[in-house]
Chain A
Amino acid sequence: MPDPTPPQTVGPFFAIGLSWDDGPEVVARDSEDAIVLRGTVFDGDGAPVPDAILETWQEPGEGCRGFGRCPTDGGGSWEIVTRKPTAGGGEAPHIAVALFARGLLDRVPTRIYFGDEEQANAADPLLSSLGPERRATLIAAPEDGGYRFDIHLQGDRETVFISF
Chain B
Amino acid sequence: MELLYPDYKSTRLRAPRRDRIQLPRVTTERTGPALWDSRVAPTDHDLTAQHDGEPLGERIIVGGRVLEAGGRPVADTLVEVWQCNAAGRYRHQGDQHPAPLDPSFTGLGRCLTGADGSFAFVTIKPGAYPWGNHHNAWRPAHIHFSVFGRAFTQRLVTQMYFPGDPLFGQDPIYQSAGDAAGRLVAAFDLERTQPEWALAYRWDIVLARTPFEDA
A residues apposed to B, CB below 8 Å: 1-18, 20, 43-45, 47, 49, 51, 55, 57-60, 65-67, 88-89, 91, 94-96, 98, 100-109, 111, 125-126, 129-130, 153-154, 158-164
A-B contact pairs, 7 of them (CB 8 A): A3-B206, A15-B92, A16-B106, A17-B80, A98-B155, A105-B1, A105-B173
CB <8 Å contact, B1 and A7? yes
Of B6-14, B54-62, B187-195, the one touching chain A: B6-14
Docked-complex contact A2 and B69, CB < 8 angstroms: yes
Give the residues from 163 to 191 in chain B that come closer than 8 angstroms, CB to CB, to chain A.
Answer: 173, 176-178, 180-181, 183-184
Complex formed: what's the CA distance from A13 to B89 in Å? 11
A57 B24 Cβ-Cβ under 8 A: no
A103 to B9, CA, bound (A): 8
The answer to whether B12 touches A44 (Cβ under 8 A) is yes
Taking the nearest CB of chain B, how far is it from the CB of A137, in angstroms? Answer: 10
> How many chain B residues have a CB neighbour from A under 8 Å?
69
A153/B16 in contact, CB under 8 A? yes
Q: Return A122 CB to nearest CB of chain B, in Å.
A: 15
CA–CA, A74 and B3, complex, Å: 24
**Does B82 contact A17, Cβ atoms closer than 8 Å?**
yes
Main secondary structure of the interface of A (DSSP, over half): loop
Q: Does B208 touch A at the CB level, under 8 Å?
A: yes
Contact status A164-B29, CB under 8 Å? yes
CB distance from A154 to the nearest CB of B (A): 5
Number of A-B contacts (CB under 8 A): 204
Residue B144 lies at the interface, judged by CB distance under 8 Å to chain A: yes
Chain A residues in 8 Å Cβ range of B1: 6-7, 105-106
Cβ-based interface call for B200 (8 A): no
Contacts A17-B144, A154-B13, A163-B20 known; 12 new A-B pairs at CB < 8 A: A1-B69, A5-B183, A5-B184, A8-B176, A16-B108, A43-B13, A44-B12, A44-B17, A45-B13, A57-B28, A89-B27, A160-B18
Identify A14's interface contact among B3, B82, B184, CB under 8 A.
B82
* Interface residue B25 (Cβ < 8 Å from any Cβ of A): yes
Give the residues in chain A near B206, CB-CB below 8 Å: 2-5
Tell me the smallest distance from the CB of A133 to a CB of chain B, in Å: 12
Contact pick for A161, options B14, B20, B144, B158, CB 8 Å = B20
Whether B108 pairs with A17 at a CB distance below 8 angstroms is yes
Q: Bound complex: CA of A158 vs CA of B29, how far in Å? A: 22
